[in-house]
């Protein structure tokens, strides 16, 4: 028996007997770190190795190609989905999410960070909504009759 490789204790395991060279192949699936013994290998001639290689079905390569093409398609569609998302943002640039009462300072800080990740989304609590609504109502009451609206202006574009 011998090892054929560039480094010590690495490479192909060879066996020379009766004037014939054979090389070892795995007799079973082996996981990394498993101990291997004599029963875990079978020795085959170079000619037999070539025949086994020829018998590998080409459609197994075809199925691999199909899987790769499918993955590429999914990745391409993902980028298309992002462009659809961007076009939606152009049409509807802001979105408000309304959440519960009495957030802690820590929870508010987390929300500010999340808002920074997506500037089109604003998170408001019910308290924020009530304060904003009351302020708007008060503003309208204070300026009722004081606001002038020009109804003669042409706003057709």
Whether 43 maps to a domain, the answer reads yes
Q: Are residues 64 and 77 in the same domain?
A: yes
Angstrom CA distances, 101 to 23, 110, 116, 153, stand at 73, 15, 21, 43
Contacts of 15 (CB under 8 A, 6+ apart): 1, 2, 21, 22, 23, 24, 43
Spatial neighbors of 99 by CB under 8 A, at least 6 apart, are 123, 124, 125, 126
Domain span holding position 20: 2-30+38-56
User: Does any domain span residue 153?
Assistant: no
Q: Indicate whether 23 and 45 sit together in one domain.
A: yes
Specify whether the CB–CB gap between 46 and 54 falls below 8 A.
no
87 plus 69 within the same structural domain: yes
Instruction: Say if residue 114 is in the same domain as residue 104.
Output: yes
Count how many domains the chain has: 3
Q: 61 and 51 in one domain?
A: no
Taking only the tens of pLDDT, the chain with its 157 residues reads 888 878 877 778 888 889 999 988 888 877 777 888 888 888 999 888 888 777 766 555 666 677 777 777 777 776 556 666 666 556 555 666 666 667 778 887 887 787 777 777 777 777 777 787 888 887 787 777 665 555 555 555 4
Residue 148 within a domain: no
Q: Is the dihedral of CA 101, 102, 107, 109 positive or negative?
A: positive
Give a yes or no: residue 154 inside a domain.
no
Say if 157 falls within a structural domain: no
Q: Are 111 and 123 in contact (CB under 8 A)?
A: yes
23 is a domain residue: yes
Closest CA to 112 of 103, 127, 82: 103
Q: Residue 137: its pLDDT value, please?
A: 82
């Amino acid at each position: 028996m011998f090892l054929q490789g560039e480094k010590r204790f690495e490479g192909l395991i060879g066996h020379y007997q009766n004037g014939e060279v054979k090389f070892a192949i795995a007799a079973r699936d082996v996981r990394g770190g498993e101990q291997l013994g004599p029963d875990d290998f079978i020795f085959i001639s170079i000619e037999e190795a070539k025949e086994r290689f020829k018998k590998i079905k080409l459609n197994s390569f075809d199925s691999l190609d199909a899987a790769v093409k499918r993955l590429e398609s999914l990745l391409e569609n993902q980028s298309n989905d992002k462009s659809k998302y961007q076009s939606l943002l152009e049409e509807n640039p802001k979105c408000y999410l309304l959440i519960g009462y009495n957030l802690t300072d820590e929870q508010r800080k987390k929300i500010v960070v999340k808002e920074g990740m997506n500037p089109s989304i604003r998170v408001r609590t019910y308290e924020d909504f009530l304060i904003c609504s009351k302020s708007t109502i008060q503003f309208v009451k204070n300026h009722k009759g004081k606001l002038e609206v020009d109804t003669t202006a042409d706003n057709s574009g």
